[in-house]
Each structure stands twice: as structure tokens, then as C-alpha cells.
A and B are shown apart, each in its own frame.
Chain A
Amino acid sequence: MHRQTYIFAVVAAAVAVLGAFVFLADDRTAVEVRSGRIDVVASFYPLAEFAAKVGGNMVAVSNITPAGTEPHDFEPTPRQVASIYGSHLFVYNGGGVDVWASRLAGAIGERGVKTLEMRPLMGELLPPVDQEEGEMFDEHFWLDPVLAQRQVEAIRDALAGIDPAHAAEYRDRADSYVAELRSLDADFRRGLASCQIREAITSHAAFAYLARRYGFTQLAIAGLSPDEEPSAGALAALVREAERRGIRHVFFETLASPEMAETLAREIGAQTLVFNPLEGLTGEELVTGKNYLTVMRQNLANLRTAMVCP
């Protein structure tokens, strides 16, 4: 038998398999099952949490970035993109945290899905570390309890626009969650009012908004993206700075490798503490009932330890 025959067989087999696949798999697995509620898709955890709080049982919220995944490294599957197409409202951060969402937003909007991007609503954008200029901005807006209130209100307005019949209920739920965020804000304000140290060392420059809000300075080991590596000189400068200011604690975050923070901690004889940037809670964390408010309070407690607040 000739090779050509085999090649023909390869191509024919492929076409047959492919055809069978497309037509047998057709429609039975289609995803457009509307829940009868308002379907909201959020690009990652904090936005999903806020949408669920505002929407209550009138909305079905799904979070695209799986629990425990670092959203910087994440890319959605076709099903997930299809679920956004089938939803009523798509909420995303904008910028570098969920680049895929910004890329999709235009096409999704054309299909009649309402899109809500948080970045343009957050007022003045801050560079990741003080004293530096540039077009790079910190986009961890949700870590500031005051900006979080603005996000909740934006979700409330979007839901009321889609489902005006329940506007009053969305307003009530948003009001009560905003009240919880206000009390979180008050706790931070009180908790960080009189600390002996006004600097915190972190493994990932994510605190710009939190630091501005409560008047402290973040000294970042790495840049904005958790997998960036610091230079040896920068690490040495941080060690000197920490020793000069008597800093005894170094923060690392939950979803990234703690090695750099541990190295620095060993060097200055400090302890490491967790700061959870809430980019995604792991399945385990969700099961044990953790949420935005509880994790933020834990972050506050750790910040108070690190900055020696009475």
C-alpha cells in the first residue's frame, strides 16, 4: 500500500472524527440555561462577593477565576466565556488584574450584556509605590474599604438598571453591606490610628489605596505582579530600612510564593505575616466561611501586629 493511501486515511479519519464530534456533541451540552434570576458574572472573587451581597437571591453570581487561582495567571475556558455571553451583567476590574476581561468587554457589550468596569470609577489612580511617577498603576482598589463601597454602589446601580422592579431591594441590600464596609473602615481607622511604625514591608505592592487611606507607607519587596523578582540591591536596601525603623514583621501574600518574604524576614530577624490581597479565596477558605469582611479584619489584625499598634 502506498503512503499516499495512509495519508488520505489520516485526513479522512480526522474529518470523520471531527464531524461526528461537532454534530453529536451539538446542543445537548449547550450552556444557555438561564436561572430565572439575574445572571451576574464577575471576573474574580471580591467583585463576585459584592455582587452576591447586593443581589441576594434575585441574582445568580458566578466567579470566573476559580477559587485559589492567582488572577494574574488566569485565562478563561470557552465555557466560561460563553457563560459571560449568556449573562445579564459582567463585572470586572479593568487593567492588569483581569486583562482577558478588558479584551472581551467590547464584544460582550455589543451582544447586549451590560458591562461594569471598576477602574474608571475609582477616582485618582495611584502608582504602586509612593514617590514614583509613571503610567503603571496599582489596581487593587478593593483592598480599600471606602473604594469597596463605591464598587458596591456601582453594582447596585447596574442591577437596578437591568431589573428596575427590584431596585428597592437592591438598594436596601447595598445599604446594609455598605454599612458593614463603613464599620470595617472605622475599625481600620481606629486600629491603625496610633501605631509606633508607619511602614509595612510587603511581598507584592498591592496596598497603595489601603496605605493612602490609613496613612502608612508600604515598602514593597517586589513589584505589582506577584511573580516579579526584586534586585539584590533593593532587597539589601529594604533590610537596612527595616533595621533602621525597627520593623519586625514582613508580609507575604497567600497565593504567591513566600520565599522572598521569608528570606528578608530571616535577614532582619523578623517574623512573616500573611496579608491576603483577596484576589481569590481558596476552596478551603470559602468552606470555612471566610469572606471579604473576615479576611480584611484578619489583615487589619496582622497590620496592627506589624506596625505595633496599641
Chain B
Amino acid sequence: MPAILQYDFMIRAFEAGLILAVLAPTIGIFFVVRRYSAMADTLAHVSLAGVAGGLFLGISAVWAALLACVLAILGIEKIREQRTLSSDTIVSLFLFGGLSLGVVLIGLRPAGGVNISNYLFGSVLTVTDAAVGQIAAIGVAAFAAIAAIWRSLLAVSIDEEVARAGGLPVRLLNRVLAILGAATVAISINVVGVLLIGALMVIPVLAAMQFRIGFRSTWLLSVAVSMLSVVCGLTASYYLNLASGATVVLCSIAFFVFSMLVSMASGQRVNAVAAETED
């Protein structure tokens, strides 16, 4: 057995990482298509406000974070439906709002906050067995929910107008997706950290999109890229003694760059062939 698997903390890191590697791009691909790529980071900062508010009101941190995320994401959807602002600007509005509200709420607590961010932003190396179970349960539930409404979600993400004309419950579908995303992020950040969950939602999808291969293939490829990023990243971080979450993210970026180069090379070939045939 490789040395890296002698330690149960590494095994748990692989377990948690691989479950998220499947789940994150599966939800993330819908966010990316709608220009919500900053969503994970936004939800993390909204969670900060939630945890601070929870301490203030005496509610458990996880539930407070989840509640704050769901409220925020419903708010984001509501504003988006007004159609006066683009998705990415609304998301950044909530990012700054969440962060500021969190900082103010922390300051309101008379005794001062004992580094709330430390409780909020976890690390993939300190995942417990219970947390792996928790992530697996959320993962299976979210995955099943997405699979059940996959076609409708796809239709809504590609063109809301057409979907609405086709009789799909657009508002309901948007909210279901949003709440699934909020639940995943709110519960994962405390376990694996916002960097990891946020990056896995977005970067593998971007890598896969380089090939313009249709939605389902893009999704499959993005899951493959994200799983490989987790395995490569954790392995590299172990042998090269680097910070784990960040190494996984850098691996996924390496895959993105590689995909982009391959895609450019293939594009040039196609263009060259096209130019030759034109002559």
C-alpha cells in the first residue's frame, strides 16, 4: 500500500474530496452556465454573517449558516427575476453584503468573536468520519434530486424563456437548484474549506467547456477533471508538503490550462484544414 494511504486522515481526505468532486461540478455546471461562478465564495461570506448572527441569537452555527445561505440565494433569485442586473453583479452584491454584515455582527458581540472564520473555514485534512458521512448523505440526496430534474434544469439554464413557454415551473426549478447549492456550500465549507468547494464547482466545468462537446459530455468530463484534481492535488500536497486545499485547486487550474491549450491546438488544426479546403 502506498505510504499516503497509511494514514486515516488522508483516506478521509480522499473520501470527502472525491464525494465533493462528483457533487460540486454537478451543481456548479448549472451555476457556471448562468454566470453564478462566484456563488460559492458569496455563500461562504453569507455563512459568515449567518454564523455571527447565530452566535448573537444563540442558534447553532451550522443551521444559522444554512439559513443565511438559503435566504441569500432566494434573495439573489428574486433580484435576478427583476432582470435589471446581471447574475454576476447580484452575486457580488451579496458577497460584499454578507461579509460586511458578518463583520458588523461579530463586532456587536460584546466579548468579541473568537476567530469565527476558523470555525467556518475547514480543512480537508481535519475531516472527521462523521463529517464524511454527512457529506456523503448530502451528496447522495443532492445528486438524486439533480438527476430527477436534470432535463428540466438543463432547459431552464439554457434558455429560461423557452423553458417557460414550454410550461416548465421555472421559478420552482431555480429555487430547488439554488437551495441544493446553498446546502452543499454551507455544510462543506466548515469541513473542507471554501477554497476547495468553490473551486471544484467552477474550475473543472471551465476546463471541460473548452471542448464544446455538449452539456452531458461537458458534465462527465468536468467530473473526471475534478476527481483527478482531488487525487493529484492531495497526492502532491502529501509528497511535496504543500497546503492541501490550495494544491487541489492549483491542480484543477493546471487541467484547465492544459484543456485550453489542447482546445486551441485542435481549433487551429480545424481552421487550417478549413483554409486548405477553401483553397
Contact = CB atoms under 8 A, between A and B. Distances in A.
Contacts of B123: 75-76, 100, 103
B237 A77 contact: yes
A129 interface: yes
A199 to B, nearest CB: 18
Given A6-B266, A22-B235, A77-B242, A30 B114 contact: no
A136 B113 contact: yes
A224 B231 contact: no
Contacts of A3: 211-213, 263, 266
Contacts of A134: 109-111
B9 A6 contact: no
A136 B224 CA distance: 44
Contacts of B255: 10, 14
Interface string A211-228: 000000000101111001
Interface string B6-38: 111110110000000000000000000000000
A1 B236 contact: no
A278 interface: no
B213 A7 contact: yes
A129 B112 contact: yes
Query: Which of B9, B243, B262, B269 has the largest count of A CB atoms less than 10 A from its CB?
Result: B9
Given A10-B258, A96-B114, A225-B113, A77 B213 contact: no
A23 B258 contact: no
A95 B111 CA distance: 15
Interface string B90-122: 000000000000010011011111110011001
Contacts, number: 159
A103 to B, nearest CB: 4
Contacts of B232: 14, 17-18, 21
A107 B236 contact: no
Interface string B112-145: 1111001100110110110000000000000000
Contact of A128 (B111, B118, B238, B262): B111
Interface string A90-128: 000001100110011011000100000000000000011
30 contacts: A4-B213, A6-B211, A10-B255, A11-B221, A30-B6, A31-B3, A77-B237, A77-B243, A78-B10, A78-B13, A78-B244, A81-B125, A82-B238, A95-B114, A96-B114, A96-B115, A100-B123, A100-B125, A107-B9, A107-B12, A133-B111, A134-B109, A136-B109, A205-B112, A224-B112, A224-B113, A228-B106, A228-B107, A228-B113, A230-B107
Given A18-B235, A23-B2, A100-B125, 4 more contacts: A21-B239, A85-B9, A128-B111, A223-B114
